[in-house]
């Protein structure tokens, strides 16, 4: 991910092996990291059991919040593809009990359809 993408708030795909090693202490027995996307220092991770939003706080990023969302709590989601002049795509996820969706932006090089398919494969079980 380039610095310019980070400044714009766009997410890009990251290596799941790196995240799996970092998540070793918080994963449930048998839980596997399958997809991960980074947004500047923060990232969100799709495991086979839940969606985990990681918020690195402070100047050094040493304080970290892991927000786990079971797939069964996701009520619906939408994607908006990038256009000619709009260079980013957007994913919105609604969680039960929360009226405002989570919103994540992706740069044009990341396939928003892939992200939607991953989310759909877990939510629509």
What pLDDT digit, counting tens, does each position of 38-74 carry? 877 778 899 999 999 888 887 776 788 998 999 999 9
Helix (H, G, I), strand (E, B) or coil at 34: strand
The helix, strand and coil proportions of the chain, stated in percent and rounded to the nearest 5, come to 25, 45, 35
pTM for the whole thing? Answer: 0.77
Stronger pLDDT, 82 or 87, i.e. the higher one: 82
Residues 6+ apart with CB under 8 A from 88: 8, 10, 82, 105, 106, 107, 108
Asked if pLDDT for residue 16 goes beyond 60, the answer is yes
Mean pLDDT in residue range 18-28: 90
């Amino acid at each position: 991910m380039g610095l310019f993408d980070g400044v714009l708030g766009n997410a890009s795909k990251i290596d799941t092996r790196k995240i799996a090693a970092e998540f070793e202490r918080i994963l449930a027995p048998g839980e596997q990291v399958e997809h991960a996307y980074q947004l500047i220092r923060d990232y969100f991770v799709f495991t086979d059991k839940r969606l985990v939003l990681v918020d690195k706080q402070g100047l050094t990023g040493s304080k970290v919040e892991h927000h786990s969302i079971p797939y069964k709590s996701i009520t619906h989601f939408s994607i908006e593809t990038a256009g000619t002049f709009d260079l980013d795509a957007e994913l919105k996820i609604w969680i039960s009990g929360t009226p405002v969706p989570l919103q994540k932006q992706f740069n044009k090089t990341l396939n928003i359809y892939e992200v939607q398919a991953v989310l759909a494969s877990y939510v629509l079980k």
